[in-house]
Structure 1
Amino acid sequence: MPSVEKGAATLKRKSRLLNLTRVINWFREAHNLLKRERFLHLLSVVFLFIIFGALAIFFSDNYYTTKGISGILDAIYWAVVTITTVGYGDIVPTSSLAKIAGLIIILSGPALLALVTASVASIYVERKIKEGKGLESIKDKDHIIICGWNENGEKVIDSIAAQMKAGQTSIVLVNELSRDEVQSIQYKYKDYNLRFVRGNFVREDVLARANIMNARSAIVMADVSGGHSIEKADQRTIFGTMTIKSMAPKVRTCAELIDGHNREHLVRTKVDEIIVRGESSGCMLAMAAIAPGVSSTIRSLISSEDENKIWRLPVPSRYVGKSFGELSAHLREKFSAIVLAVLREQKQMKLDDILSPDSTSIDEFIKRKFEESGKDFFGEKEKVSVVINPPDDYQLSKNHAIVVISKEKPEEAGFVERLVKGT
């Protein structure tokens, strides 16, 4: 029980730290914007005028003798009310010096406040214009980037939206569509956090504005935006994937090819998954002819037309070491879910795996030679093997994941999570 409480406390601490970091970053960005627009200088001038008016009425109208310390608050109150041209009339200057100070504040106050308001408004207007043009840098993390655009672009967004709740993660489009086309897409998916970065995704500066280093995953489509021809789409896909992997090698990247003969070139970029357009068309046509209805079923599931969807889930910790049949029966009974397959993730061998535990001169020599070669013989990319419809006695491990069909994503909160949420 103490370990559970410690885990809950750690989760709370990490959550508070993450929120605090976001607030600090927001204030830092706001400070930089305000500083650039000389907002703080204008605010300082307004503050000085308030102090000037307060001191003028405080000393010239003898507040220091008639009201004492409370006269300071009255003096500041009068200066603020006067500079904002509210003028309640509950406090009025009586001496000539205080009246002159009041005139100066009344004449200069509106102009100063107008400058302050215009400065703040210009910051937000500029940001909105840059955001609309796709020139704003993305600050989000764990987002999904869609590079390029074609006639299947909206289907990709629909599929992502079907797998995630609105607002759960942001989607960033990186392409060269016109402003009207982008706004039309953003309006259609207004319930989702859809962002836009204009530019050629082959370039590093464009991907840097999309914050590729902190992205969850990247999808590279056969791009025809900005007048690019479909004949050169594969070339751009290969170069774009190469750029992504050079900047963010750990970001999961999926790419679309038009011509399957270009697969070997794309594999060299260390892309995680390749989808060749039309690769499954022959199988679907044959299935439609031989087994009517099967192709329609598959199409409904992968296109999110049916209320049942395909989900990928980790194996629950309490079923690690148990049989596939036990987990399948549990999911069927509790969530009405059908388990289609078991996935096994295996990391590739690393250089450290073949070296001795104690570093020796020979080990150092081998490491140096591999580094000098400039080639990555030991990648960190995980290989995924698929076992469709495994037998009931198939043993599950912590490296397994499962693919299920259900209306809602089967989710079970762990004990620590339930404790944190107070449920």
Structure 2
Amino acid sequence: MNPFFLFFKKFRKYSRNHIIKASILSVAVIIYSVFSEFYIENPVPSSGIHNLFTSLWWTMQTITTVGYGDTPVYGLLGRTNGMVIMVVGIGSLGYLTAGITSMLIDIRLSSKLGDRMATEKKHIILCNYNESTKKVLDKIKNDGIDIVILNENEVKGDNEYTFVKGSFLRENDLIKAGIKKASSVIIFSREEDRDQMAMDAETILSAMIIRKLNPRIRIIGEILNPDSRIHASGFMDDIVIKGDVSSMLIYSSIMIPGIPQFINELLAGNNIGEEDIDESYINKTYREFVSAMEKDDKIVLGFRKDDKIVLRKISDEKIGSGSYIFIKN
């Protein structure tokens, strides 16, 4: 293990233990000071302490070294007790301040090293950081979506996202990334010079582990070999074959010149949306619904039924419930 990382682990354990001790000590000193000074000084007529609140006021002035001087202590025993409180109180407060400072350093180091538990909810986890991950981040960075990046190596230049250091094949690392509270996870293929089927096997294994930890999460996986699709389909909601889309666009450009640019502009323009089918249309036909949407400047592309998307159809069949995908003019 890296010597600095080992030191960080020990530093974290030390800081967590000592901030609790410092808090308990500070509270104990305050309680002792408030009651002891009140019972010692209250009988002294010229003293400024004749109730518990004034004693608390004097205590906070003393241990914080503010010392307004508006609450005098005249008794010999009260002053002697006050000197003890000054020494112990200032020391306990300094101890607490040091503990809080070390905790803040711990948080900063944890974030930098990726060694902390993600606190996000309903977030998206990106497993493995590569060029595809960067492109996805660029697209969704302005959508206000919480992102957690799970990667074995430090991710530089993306401080706006939570980084968790670990492997997508280890349960503990996935839990640390908040897999049980996440809404979706995207598993990107590793960029390594290895057999594609072997790397796809790791991606599928990761999907199996994730599905066990959170059966309701949406899993999107990137695979390298088309032959892996049949094995991945049982564990992933959506499967993306790397390079498959670009190949289809190249082929389409042969048959329809300019189609790749058209598709890219369509996707980049954020014109595609999805909405639930309004209850007023449930008993209407597909033909009636498509016609109504076109009057509202929406071109229907397809329908989502039972978590499956079917292409737009114009028929006299009842549309029923679900949602529709459209392009807004």
Q: Which residue matches 1:184? A: 157
Please tell me whether the aligned partners of residues 144 and 217 of structure 1 are also in contact (alpha carbons under 8 angstroms): yes
| 1:258 counterpart letter in structure 2 | L
Please tell me whether the aligned partners of residues 147 and 162 of structure 2 are also in contact (alpha carbons under 8 angstroms): yes
Deviations 1:253-300 (A, max 9, x none): 121111212223323x43222111222334322332332222211122
| 1:229 counterpart letter in structure 2 | D
Higher helix share: 1
TM-superposed CA distance for 1:81, in Å, is 0.8
Q: Which residue matches 1:175? A: 151
Change (3 A) 1:176 1:326: same
Q: Which residue matches 1:386? A: 310
Higher relative contact order (CA 8 A, sep 6+): 1
Q: Equivalents in 2 of 1:246, 1:61: separation in Å? A: 66
Change (3 A) 1:117 1:330: farther
TM-superposed CA distance for 1:222, in Å, is 0.9
TM-superposed CA distance for 1:342, in Å, is 1.9
| 1:158 counterpart letter in structure 2 | D
**Which of 105, 110, 114 is the aligned partner of 1:125?**
105
1:234-273 mapped onto 2 (5 Å cutoff): 234-267=200-233, 269-273=234-238
1:97 aligned onto 2:77: yes
**Which of 314, 318, 335 is the aligned partner of 2:280?**
318
Q: Equivalents in 2 of 1:340, 1:253: separation in Å? A: 23
- Residue aligned with 1:342, SS: strand
Q: Which residue matches 1:20? A: none
Please tell me whether the aligned partners of residues 277 and 323 of structure 2 are also in contact (alpha carbons under 8 angstroms): yes
**Which of 203, 207, 215 is the aligned partner of 2:182?**
215
Q: Which residue matches 1:402? A: 324
Q: Which residue matches 1:300? A: 265
Q: Equivalents in 2 of 1:205, 1:67: separation in Å? A: 61
- RMSD across aligned positions (CA): 3.0
Change (3 A) 1:311 1:35: same
| 2:319 counterpart letter in structure 1 | L
**Which of 304, 318, 343 is the aligned partner of 2:304?**
343
Q: Equivalents in 2 of 1:245, 1:327: separation in Å? A: 36
**Which of 58, 71, 77 is the aligned partner of 1:78?**
58
TM-superposed CA distance for 1:110, in Å, is 2.1
TM-superposed CA distance for 1:321, in Å, is 1.7
Q: Which residue matches 2:9? A: none
Percent identity (aligned) = 26
1:106 aligned onto 2:94: no
Q: Equivalents in 2 of 1:198, 1:53: separation in Å? A: 46
Structure 2 unaligned segments of length 5 or more: list them: 1-12
Q: How many residues were matched structurally?
A: 315
TM-superposed CA distance for 1:250, in Å, is 2.8
Q: Which residue matches 1:156? A: 136
- Residue aligned with 2:300, SS: strand
Deviations 1:183-214 (A, max 9, x none): 4023xxx3xxx222211101222112122233
Change (3 A) 1:386 1:78: same
Please tell me whether the aligned partners of residues 41 and 49 of structure 2 are also in contact (alpha carbons under 8 angstroms): no
| 2:30 counterpart letter in structure 1 | I
| 2:17 counterpart letter in structure 1 | E
| 2:314 counterpart letter in structure 1 | P
Structure 1 unaligned segments of length 5 or more: list them: 1-32, 346-381, 408-423
Q: Which residue matches 1:199? A: 166
Please tell me whether the aligned partners of residues 53 and 98 of structure 1 are also in contact (alpha carbons under 8 angstroms): no
Q: Equivalents in 1 of 2:131, 2:21: separation in Å? A: 50
Change (3 A) 1:159 1:320: farther
Q: Equivalents in 2 of 1:339, 1:252: separation in Å? A: 24
TM-score (norm 2): 0.83
Please tell me whether the aligned partners of residues 174 and 200 of structure 1 are also in contact (alpha carbons under 8 angstroms): yes
TM-superposed CA distance for 1:78, in Å, is 1.4
Change (3 A) 1:90 1:282: closer
Q: Equivalents in 1 of 2:325, 2:138: separation in Å? A: 20
Q: Equivalents in 1 of 2:173, 2:246: separation in Å? A: 34
Please tell me whether the aligned partners of residues 221 and 256 of structure 1 are also in contact (alpha carbons under 8 angstroms): yes
| 1:175 counterpart letter in structure 2 | N
- Residue aligned with 2:157, SS: helix
Q: Equivalents in 2 of 1:202, 1:279: separation in Å? A: 25
| 1:146 counterpart letter in structure 2 | L
Deviations 1:61-116 (A, max 9, x none): 44476789953332222122111111101122212222222222223322211111
Please tell me whether the aligned partners of residues 15 and 99 of structure 2 are also in contact (alpha carbons under 8 angstroms): no
**Which of 196, 199, 209 is the aligned partner of 1:233?**
199
Q: Equivalents in 1 of 2:67, 2:37: separation in Å? A: 15
Change (3 A) 1:230 1:222: farther
TM-superposed CA distance for 1:54, in Å, is 3.9
TM-score (norm 1): 0.66
| 1:406 counterpart letter in structure 2 | K
Q: Which residue matches 1:25? A: none
Q: Equivalents in 1 of 2:188, 2:39: separation in Å? A: 73
